[in-house]
């Protein structure tokens, strides 16, 4: 999944994942460091980007899990809750 970007990092309210153009993403999840799913990211633009509101999450490091067919990739993202 080369070309995938995550912004901003650190995030305070919204986290956005941009997969490469013309990539058929089947799911994007935010996981805690123990690998437990915290939330699914949603796409309102046909898969060009996936967004999650992270303002209520505890400050810490989370993993973004992107699935494209059988290929899965984890990205490290620091998420800071809004105070």
Task: List, for residues 3-62, the tens digit of each pLDDT value.
Answer: 888 999 889 999 999 988 888 888 999 999 999 999 999 999 988 999 999 998 999 999
pTM recorded for the entire structure: 0.84
> Can you give the pLDDT at residue 82?
59
Asked if the bond preceding 53 is cis, omega within 30° of 0, the reply is no
Q: Are 78 and 61 in contact (CB under 8 A)?
A: yes
Helix (H) or strand (E) holding 62: strand 60-68
Element (H, E) at 79: strand 71-79
Alpha-carbon torsion angle 10, 72, 68, 17, nearest 10: 0
Residues 77/64, Cβ–Cβ less than 8 Å = yes
């Amino acid at each position: 999944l080369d070309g995938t970007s995550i912004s901003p990092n650190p995030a305070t309210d919204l986290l956005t994942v941009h997969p490469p153009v013309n990539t058929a993403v089947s799911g994007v999840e935010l996981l805690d460091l123990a690998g437990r799913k915290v939330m699914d990211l949603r796409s309102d633009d046909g898969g060009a980007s996936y967004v999650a509101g992270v303002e209520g999450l505890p400050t810490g490091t989370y993993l973004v899990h992107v699935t494209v067919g059988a290929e899965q990739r984890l990205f490290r993202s620091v998420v800071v809750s809004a105070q």
